[in-house]
Amino acid sequence: MSILIVASLIFVTVYIAHFYWKVRKYPKGPFPLPLIGNLLQFPGENIHIYFDDLAKEYGPCFTLWTPLPSVVITDYEYLKEAFVAQSDAFIYRSDIPSETLLQPHKNTGVLMSSGENWQLQRRTSLKILRNFGMGKNLMEDQVMRSVHELLAQLESIKDKKNVDMFWPIQLCVGNVINESLFGYHYKYEDYERFKTFVTIVDTHLRSLQSRASLLIAAFPWFRHVPIIGESGYYGIKRNVERYQKFIDEEVASRVKDYDRGSDPDNFVHAYLQQMEQTGNPGLDMKNLCASVLDFWVAGMETTSTTLRWSLAYMMKYPEIQDKVRKEIFNVVGTSRLPSMSDKPNMPYTQAVIHEIQRHSSMIPLLASHTNIEDIVLKGQTIPSGTRVFAQLWSILKRDSIFEERDEFNPDRYLLKDGKTMNKAVLERTIPFSIGKRSCVGEGLARLELFLIFSAMMQQYEFVANGQIDLTPVYGGALSAKPYTCHLIPQTA
């Protein structure tokens, strides 16, 4: 018995000594405990605020232990050196349950895959987007169809004094994604299937932020603990299975109507064509379904949330809303809707959209990267295999380039002439990240934001019913608090 005790003490002593020897190799951060690291210090929500506070104490590159090491970057110059200057070292994702549970199959799709498969899926997706979308202006046509449907829906509302814009915006954005991926639209009078899917995905993204999810990421064996496993891992896994079933059914429908002799008019058909033409075994049904899911979730959540923020800001600052509308009337008039050809002549509207993205900072923390080799970042060593998180919230809200950064001020994006965009400020406004793993759908997202936002501003004045509180709701993204508004039709 005494030998067992001595052996146990030796083991514990060696483990603790080895643990703190490892800690010394990483950028400084809050003091971790053996086995649990800094887990007890994590807040239940608003983790980006906690990280921002740590950056003030330990600098813009610090380490947290869970108990595995995670490095957090909160500064633009650090992030640029890591994700751009040393981009090849950061093209891998972490292989941890809370993140891999975004997909039912490991290393599939675009968002969470790594290595050669990521390169193949990203390259294929970009080719499809270029050939099928941007190169033929089909994307703008698709967005405008959804815009017309949105405006028709708003016009049909009898009581315009108390309108909840959540589902009209959600369906407008969802139909752009849905037509791009599957080639069809949902109708405003019949979109229960769409609502069910959106609710499942929203629940899933929120569950990934829970303490149970964090525990499972740190200690995968916790999935077998009854309460934690059920509320965390298995609950999340059931959600994955539910929305994967939805995606599988949509893809299967498109496979049935795929015509090899016709040019593809949606992502699924274009991917099937690439499968046939290249014969690459990495282009398969699992990766097709995973890529579709990535585009659906990422494209839906970010754009719709940004547009809901846009109305909240415009109602909070009606003088800015009036200035946007005045620019639209001067450039476009009222006889037609704004188009992408108008965008260069609408600098203030562009500036407002940039400031909405910056000030709301709705994706505070990016999915983790993993460096595949030791790297030195501004004199600090990050050993190979470390999870690295980019905190965009701190960059967008704390960078010194943004004067009076807590204020909502679109003019920061314009030079003194009021017409020329401020490139220095734009460079550090990175809501879609930077580097090789920046958002594949950035072009489509920017297209949607400009066309949908400017059309809404042209057609209606949005007046809040009550006070607008810009304090975000923490979940899968930082969302605007629910609101209703009075829609006042506009004429020049």
- Is 61 labelled a binding residue? no
**Buried/exposed 288-310: b ≥16 CB within 10 Å, e otherwise:** bbbbbbbbbbbbbbbbbbbbbbb
- Whether the full predicted model's pTM is greater than 0.85, yes or no, is yes
3-state SS string over the chain? CHHHHHHHHHHHHHHHHHHHHHHCCCCCCCCCECCCECHHHCCCCCHHHHHHHHHHHHCCEEEEECCCEEEEECCHHHHHHHHHHCHHHHCEECCCHHHHCCCCCCCCCCCCCCHHHHHHHHHHHHHHHHHHHHHHCHHHHHHHHHHHHHHHHHHHCCCCCCECCHHHHHHHHHHHHHHHHHCCCCECCECHHHHHHHHHHHHHHHHCCCHHHHHHHHCHHHHHCHHHHHHHHHHHHHHHHHHHHHHHHHHHHHHHCCCCCCCCCCHHHHHHHHHHHHCCCCCCHHHHHHHHHHHHHHHHHHHHHHHHHHHHHHHHCHHHHHHHHHHHHHHCCCCCCCCHHHHHHCHHHHHHHHHHHHHHCCCCECCCEECCCCEEECCEEECCCCEEEEEHHHHHHHCCCCCCCCCCCHHHHECCCCCCECHHHHHCCCCCCCCCCCCCCHHHHHHHHHHHHHHHHHHEEEEECCCCCCCCEECCCEECCCCCEEEEECCC
Residue 491, C-beta contacts closer than 8 angstroms, at least 6 positions apart: 334
pLDDT by 10s per residue, the chain, length 492 = 688 888 888 888 888 888 889 999 999 999 999 988 888 888 877 889 999 999 999 999 999 998 889 999 999 999 999 999 999 999 888 876 544 456 667 888 998 889 899 999 999 998 998 886 654 577 899 899 999 999 999 999 999 999 999 999 999 999 999 999 999 989 888 888 888 888 888 877 777 666 666 666 666 666 666 666 666 667 777 777 888 888 999 999 999 999 988 888 899 999 999 999 999 999 999 999 999 988 988 888 899 999 999 999 999 999 999 999 999 999 999 999 999 999 999 999 999 999 999 999 999 998 889 999 999 999 999 999 999 999 999 999 999 999 999 999 999 999 999 999 999 999 999 999 999 999 888 988 999 999 999 999 999 999 999 999 999 998 778 999 999 999 999 965
What is the per-residue pLDDT for 265?
Answer: 86
CATH number, position 456: 1.10.630.10
Overall number of domains in the chain: 1
42 phi, psi to nearest 5 deg? -75, 135
Q: Collect all residues with Cβ–Cβ distance below 8 Å to 437 and sequence separation of at least 6.
A: 83, 90, 91, 369
In this structure, which amino acid lies at residue 171? L
Q: What's the pLDDT at 155? A: 95
Per-residue model confidence (pLDDT) at position 98: 47
In angstroms, the CA 21 to CA 14 distance is 10
Domain range for residue 328?
2-489
State how far Cα 276 lies from the chain centre: 31
71-84 exposure pattern, b = at least 16 Cβ within 10 A, e = fewer: bbbbbbebbbbbbe
